[in-house]
Structure 1
Amino acid sequence: MGYPRTNRISEEIKKLVSNMILNELKDPRISTLTSVVDVEVTRDLRYANIFISIYGTQEEQENTMKALKKASGFIRKEMGKKLKLRYTPEPIINMDRSIEKGVYMSDLINKVTQKDDLNEDTE
């Protein structure tokens, strides 16, 4: 069961943080291929779990995560200015690996289908 208010706040935070990553955060460690995949706000509006997807090498991903975690205070301050809430949620930055898992699964499926095609050709 969804909670419409927390869902609306989650979407608004997603937009705000995406915009901050693109335009306001000037840390050179942040990769240009960084996107906010999802935001989950707790029912009491105290915490916002922000799921970030970063396309790049392992080192670029680690550097971007470090920079974003370091900037979480700035992110919270900006969210507080732009959201009209009694309490500004504490941002918790998490790495989202669903895209990587999807690519991995797609590769596995392709390998299996290629093997099946080879087996059919030999018969």
Structure 2
Amino acid sequence: MRKNSIKNTRVNTEVQRELSNILRGGIKDPRVAPWTSVVAVEVAPDLKTCKAYISVLGDENAQTDTLAGLKSAEGYIRRELAHRLNMRNTPEIRFILDQSIEYGVNMSKKIADVTKGMDQKGDAEDAE
């Protein structure tokens, strides 16, 4: 099976959807932040392993606590995934912190600051 096959894309989408539902409603660990989202999922073509990229809204401490909580709940999450999806193999999940959303927000802030500075500079030149 090719890496970007239709079947693999469909499996990635289904695993991401169910993983999001499990994280939203099933995890009772207080270390897992309430604003945790699954950004992307990559299931290996042999359906044995899975990389789940998660994003956590919060500081660095909340991010590390959430990763620790998810790693400790990995067995429960995998069992729930097996119950919800009809797959031959339930993949072993590895959670990876994805900071692309945080990076995008910071870049948007910096761009807004620069454009605001340019607007103020332009207004000052117009007043002269």
TM-score (norm: length of structure 1)? 0.89
* CA deviation string 1:29-70 (max 9, x = no partner): 111111111111122222111111111222122111100011
Amino acid at match of 2:47: L
Which residue of the partner structure matches residue 45 of structure 1? 47
| Structure showing greater Rg | 2
Which residue of the partner structure matches residue 90 of structure 2? 88
Give aligned pairs, total.
123
- How far apart in 2 are the matches of 1:113 and 1:72? 45
Which residue of the partner structure matches residue 109 of structure 2? 107
Amino acid at match of 2:45: R
Question: Larger deviation: 39-48 or 99-108?
Answer: 39-48
Give ranges in structure 2 of 5+ residues lacking alignment: none
Q: Secondary structure at the match of 2:42?
A: strand
Displacement of 1:2:
2.8
TM-score (norm: length of structure 2)? 0.86
1:117 to 110, 116, 119: 119
Q: Percent identity?
A: 39
Query: Where has structure 1 moved over 4 Å in runs of 4 or more?
Result: none
- How far apart in 2 are the matches of 1:82 and 1:21? 13
1:30 to 25, 32, 51: 32
Which residue of the partner structure matches residue 73 of structure 2? 71
Give ranges in structure 1 of 5+ residues lacking alignment: none
Q: Secondary structure at the match of 2:8?
A: helix
